[in-house]
Structure 1
Amino acid sequence: MARMTMIEALRSAMDVKLAGDPSVILFGEDVGYFGGVFRCTSGLQARYGEERVFDTPINESAIVGLAVGMAAQGMRPCVEIQFADYMYPAYDQITQEAARLRHRSNGQFTCPLVVRMPTGGGIFGGQTHSQSPEALFTHVAGLKVVIPSNPYDAKGLLIAAIEDPDPVIFLEPKRIYNGPFSGNPHAKSMSWAAHPAGEVPEDHYSVPLGKAAICRHGSDVTVLAYGTMVHVAQATVDQTGIDAEIIDLRTLLPLDLATVRASVEKTGRCVVIHEATRTSGFGAELIAEVQEACFWHLRAPVLRVAGWDAPYPHALEWDYFPGPERIARALKQVMEA
């Protein structure tokens, strides 16, 4: 085991797969010589050469389109979109080509493709570097959607994603890449803002896609979260004294409904937390699933705590994020219902 940040764990995952599988190839904007804007691929081009780790033009549609073709012919491309906000030119390739290739070819072709994207806020990147578009992918049949919350899961999930025979959207919360962003005005009072490092095996292992993790066992209320919000939820619960069960979904599609259902049936209450905009966010789908599966066990309405229904506020992003105060208020509300 070694202490790794999430960036180091992701790099280790790609290193392991490049070393062990000649069909794995990495490319994207600045991922080669520069090592990526967040340095996730730093050193990999020097180790494996420019044919396996290479830079591309600023053309997201071409990046994913090339990757789809490579995947259809037996390679395993793992490509990076520099920020999730930049994925829109490639959305057609992802949803119309990659997601449908297995089914439209009646199984003749598969698409073992991973699209990595830094997601969410926390770096004062403004409206074009801070979006959380996970719901746009969970609506698309044929895709898998993954969001890790810690270094151990990040490496294991990325290895599993690269080894998966179908396309995986791998969203990486940049707010917990390396620890709290130094420009965070509340960093001293917000120790939950990030967990910089964790114990991670240096060799090959995988974390199964489609399986949630119970981060904290409890009996009062079920809290559903993913990515950065897992840490915010944990810190909030510790402050409230409420005996909450916190579930890190890890994979949004396919969703581990069995784990969610068992927890809500036990607690009778549920709060959903995500950073993305509230309306039509993934929380709405989670609430629908809980209502359908657990209606007769619920003792209170299912609540959600999310980002504002507004364009991403550059100067006010730390108020935009669901924080301890808003989450604690929701927990108190469901407990008093």
Structure 2
Amino acid sequence: MDRAVIVENNFRRRVLAGDLPEIAPCSGLGPQEAVGLFRAQVLSRALDLESRAMQAAGQGFYTIGSSGHEGMAAVAHALRPTDPAFLHYRDGAFQIARANQVPGQSITWDMLLSFACSSDDPISGGRHKVLGSKALNIPPQTSTIASHLPKAVGAAYAIAAARRHAPEHEAYPRDAIAMCSFGDASANHSTAQGAFNAAAWAGFQSTPLPLLFVCEDNGIGISTKTPANWIASTFSNRPALKYFACDGRDIYDTYASARAAADYVRTRRKPAFLHMSTVRLYGHAGADVATTYLPKAEVEAQEDQDPLIVSAALLAASDALTRKDAVKIYDETRARVSRTAAEVIKRPRLKTAQDVMSSILPPKRSCAASNGPSNADRRSLFGSEIEAQQEKQPMNRLINWTLHDLMLEHREVVLMGEDVGRKGGVYGVTQKLATRFGPDRVIDTLLDEQSILGLGIGMAHNGFLPMPEIQFLAYLHNAEDQLRGEAATLPFFSRGQYTNPMVVRIAGLGYQKGFGGHFHNDNSVAVLRDIPGLILACPSNGADAAQMLRECVRLAREEQRLVVFLEPIALYPMRDLHKPGDAGWMHHYPPHGTHIPFGEVGQSGEGADLAIVSFGNGTYLSHQARSELGDGVRIVDLRWLNPLPIETMLECVRPCKRILIVDETRRTGGVSEALMTAMAEAGLSATRLAAEDSFIATGPAYGATMPSRESIVAAAKELLG
């Protein structure tokens, strides 16, 4: 027999027969509150069972449920509905109990719409079965490996930071706390461990961080058991992370412990860890049969600890609800959910690609008008550097000044990353910013890219405009899911109700002559170009960098876009183009109001014999090569690598007889693959010169695998005959 049927039969039989555990409720919950929580638990269970029936009928599409974890209703009751909650996927009872705290909710209808993947689903619009609600301050989560924990750390930091300087679009009350929940198996994931460490690291230094971790420990991850006492042993003695524990089957005990933990976090502004023991019923998901990998006796032992049976016993012992009325509530709820589901499955669903993709890009938002920083403020900030801004400068200094002006203009802009503050960045790009704007706006983080990006994502939740820095492009790869799986998907799975506007600065690409090898020279951008909705910008010179960075901040601030600004490391200090001292690659600092619009390419020269299409270092090398190729060559600088500005690029190259693509990324998976495809689809013929499918070496061979001035000249001459 189906274990779900067995569990249901056991509940009715045991409660009516009085076959209940002998357990006494602790104080803290009044009778009406306790019955309300029981109703939330029962509704969560009924929705789980209905999801299975819907799937069997081909009308539902997701059956990982909350059965066994219904004690989360008591956690919700211990928090405020204005506390942002980043939920584990087994937290249906939490969302239901929170809905009971907020007037005007239709939680049964809304959750069934999600089960049915109806386009009427108020959170995801039918794109996924997710827990989430804008009205309930529950951002939607699709994570099963706790990848939402780093942004919960960031959200907690942002709540505290808003007390010190409030952003324009502040979302949470100043006394709110952030809460995130996860399973015992997920607690072992490196993403989760990074979040625990980052929270404790902040707490150890008395940095305000009002965050409550809730670990729902059911003792197993799909089929792999968690060692007995592993969670308690691991977390009960962590520095700067206060440990609380409760029996998740017992709503009275859970409420008391959760309330104590929440009060600690709210008053101390420090992180805490609530260890909640639970059980898992029905296996991992609808298709999972636990008895195929667990002894039947063990499965039955878990079922004997059904939280609904425990709640019925507690309510009976406290004279809050009779056993007969507990079963009545259960049966009435099951019937009501089934009736509602019969109506829900008639609601429309997504049909076309356009329907699905309509929420990839977030909506624009209204922002306070700005005319830029005043001359007086700029003189006060820059001092003698104002005069230096009248002279040509290399890229790294122009980016530095741009960051100054942007932070002066927009108080919600916050920089964060390893070494960005006191040191001023590995290459000096963030020099003096910490001194001039303070540690609240230029944050030296711990060495963990997942935590850096999570901090940025979480701060964006509370209205800040984060600018995280990843020190080197190669360091992104251990944290890229924070962009792919968290930041980029948030508007998609929330119909644009939640967004992650931010500008991630990354120093990258190759051509550093004496430093680093493939960890500090990395020409792989495929993962960034593969993320729907992400904008990838890459300047080739200092003037463009300044104007593109301003546009990137505008895109994030006004259009709520997720932007990555890729800064070519080798061009940071570049001064000369053809010979030492010619200053051919230095530029004046563009006036603050100027910017390069998103999607606008750069064109140098009007020659029609050959068009060289490139970006970043390739543009610089192509300019070097043109001196040997004559006036018949024009250079097209893409500037924007995702989405590629195909139409404007094609307009630039169509008048030319021949086309050469110079691509410093790899031949396989590099930018030139998409460019060659675009050329072919437009009926144009092009040749490409791309980097080899290789990592980058240190020493004299630093550029051997990538295009060079000489190889560009040779390829161009061959094309020109």
Report 1:39-118 matches (<5 A).
Answer: 39-118=428-507
Q: 1:242 to 1:288 in 2, by over 3 A?
A: farther
More strand by proportion, 1 or 2? Answer: 1
* 1:1-337 mapped onto 2 (5 Å cutoff): 2=390, 3-123=392-512, 124=514, 125-164=516-555, 165-179=560-574, 195-201=584-590, 203-241=592-630, 243-293=632-682, 295=683, 298=684, 301-315=685-699, 316-336=701-721
> CA shift at 1:238, angstroms?
1.8
SS at match of 1:133: coil
> What is the aligned-residue RMSD (CA, Å)?
2.1
Q: 1:62 to 1:313 in 2, by over 3 A?
A: same
Query: Where in structure 1 are there 5+ consecutive unaligned residues?
Result: 181-186
Contact 1:210 1:253 in 2 (8 A): no
Shift, 1:190, TM fit: 6.5
With over 3 angstroms needed to count, the CA separation of the structure-2 counterparts of 1:273 and 1:191, relative to structure 1, is farther
**Structure 1 counterpart of 2:495, which letter?**
N
Report the CA distance between 1:194 and its aligned residue. Answer: 8.7
Give SS of 1:317's match.
coil
Contact 2:505 / 2:567 at 8 angstroms: preserved in 1? Answer: yes
Provide, for residues 267-296 of structure 1, a one-character-per-residue CA deviation record: whole Å limited to 9, x for no partner. Answer: 142111122222221111111111112x1x
CA–CA distance in structure 1, aligned partners of residues 451 and 664 of structure 2: 29
Greater Cα radius of gyration, structure 1 or 2: 2
Shift of 1:202: 5.1
Contact 2:535–2:562 (CA under 8 A) maintained in structure 1: yes
Describe the superposition over 1:8-35 as per-residue Cα deviations: whole angstroms up to 9, x where unpaired.
1111111111111111100100001110
Q: Is the 8 A contact 1:143 1:167 kept in 2?
A: yes
Residue 121 of structure 1: CA displacement? 2.2
Match of 2:519, SS state, is: coil
Structure 1 pair 272–20 and aligned structure 2 pair: CA distance change class (3 A): same
- Supply the distance in 2 between the matched residues of 1:50 and 1:91 (Cα, whole angstroms): 26
Q: Structure 1 stretch 57-66 or stretch 194-203: which is displaced more?
A: 194-203
- SS of the equivalent of 1:96 reads helix
Give the secondary-structure state (helix, strand or coil) at the position aligned to 2:627.
helix
On the 8 A contact 1:179/1:195 being kept in 2, the answer is no
Give the stretch that moved more between structures: 165-174 or 255-264. Answer: 255-264
| Change in CA separation of 1:83 and 1:250 when aligned onto 2, cut-off 3 Å | same
Decide whether aligned partners of structure 1 residues 263 and 192 sit closer, same or farther in structure 2, where only a CA change above 3 A counts: farther
Which has the larger displacement, 207-216 or 252-261? 252-261
Name the amino acid aligned to 1:78.
M
Aligned mates of 1:63, 1:91 — CA distance in 2? 11
Give the paired residue count.
Answer: 325
Q: CA deviation at 1:197?
A: 2.1
Tell me, in whole angstroms, the C-alpha distance in 2 between the residues paired with 1:188 and 1:170.
23
TM-score (norm 2): 0.43
Question: What letter is aligned with 1:312?
Answer: I
Alpha-carbon distance in 1 for matches of 2:523, 2:496: 32
Quote the Cα distance in structure 2 between the aligned partners of 1:42 and 1:332. 43
Letter in 1 for 2:549: L
Higher relative CO (CA 8 A, sep ≥ 6), structure 1 or 2?
A: 1
Cα deviation, 1:86-125, whole Å, max 9, x if unaligned, reads: 0012200011111222221101022211111111223332
TM-score normalised over the length of structure 1? 0.90
